[in-house]
Amino acid sequence: MNKNRLEAFSDGVFAIIITIMVLELKVPETPHWSEISSIIPTFFAYLMSFIFVLSFWVSHHRMLFKLEKIDVSTLWLNGLFLFTLSVLPFSTGWVGRFPMSAAPEVTYGISFVISNLAFRWLSSNIHAEKTKNNIPDAGYRKIRFEVLTLTAVQAVLTGLGFFFPIIVFTGVSIIAIYCAISQGQINRK
């Protein structure tokens, strides 16, 4: 099975998830500046989720780069991963509306943890395929380490979110910005 259609389909889903989240920025009912301040939390929640989805997209891209044929098992694990991502507009919208409450913050954190676990499962399956076909997979260890660290940090943040809700979103934001900056500078060196 060819990888091109998997990429095209995944890219479509990535693109839709990333832009569907903006629908949570409801057009205000009045023309006053105060409306802007009331959507600021939603705006930042959207920005952070955007960065994370983009970050997954970059990693997804790298992971599939050298692969040509794809197993049906990879197709399904990819589907599972995309499913976990597709719940982000919901959890992002909720945390944007109630950034100070435990339920939305913990849900938001869990949503990222699950996406990372699904991504981890997918990448280990792809790694197995590459090994089977003698394709070098230099970046695998790095991605695995990154994903596992991220998952651990997010899990801890999510746990703390039961007591200090806002810590989840704050932590997720710091990680997101760190990832974007560090990835963006890779090729600069």
Alpha-carbon dihedral angle through residues 104, 171, 161, 110, given to the nearest 10 degrees: 60
Q: Which 3 state secondary structure label does DSSP give 168?
A: helix
Q: Which of 52, 81, 94, 169 binds its own copies (CB under 8 A)?
A: 94
User: Residue 168 and residue 63: Cα distance in Å, rounded?
Assistant: 28
CA distances for 168 relative to 54, 58, 92, 111, angstroms: 20, 23, 12, 11
List, in sequence order, every beta strand (DSSP E) within 70-162. Answer: none
Q: Given the rule CB under 8 A, which of 1-9, 115-123, 137-145, 151-159 is the region that contacts its own copies?
A: 1-9
CB of 160: closest distance to its own copies in angstroms?
A: 17
Q: Which is nearer to its own copies, 9 or 140 (CB)?
A: 9
Candidates 41, 44, 62, 166: give the one binding its own copies (CB under 8 A): 62
Q: Which stretch binds its own copies (CB under 8 A): 25-33, 139-147, 150-158, 166-174?
A: 25-33
Two tokens, residue 181: 């900056």
Q: Does 138 bind its own copies (CB under 8 A)?
A: no
- Taking the C-alpha atoms of residue 26 and residue 87, their distance in angstroms, rounded to an integer, is 19
Member of 134, 136, 163, 185 binding its own copies (CB under 8 A): 185
Q: Among 40, 56, 68, 89, which residue sits at the site for its own copies (rule: CB under 8 A)?
A: 89
| Footprint of its own copies (CB under 8 A) | 1-2, 5, 7-9, 11-20, 22-25, 27-28, 30-33, 35-36, 47, 50-51, 54, 57-58, 61-62, 65, 71-73, 75-77, 79, 82-83, 86-87, 89-90, 93-94, 97-98, 100-104, 107, 180, 183-188
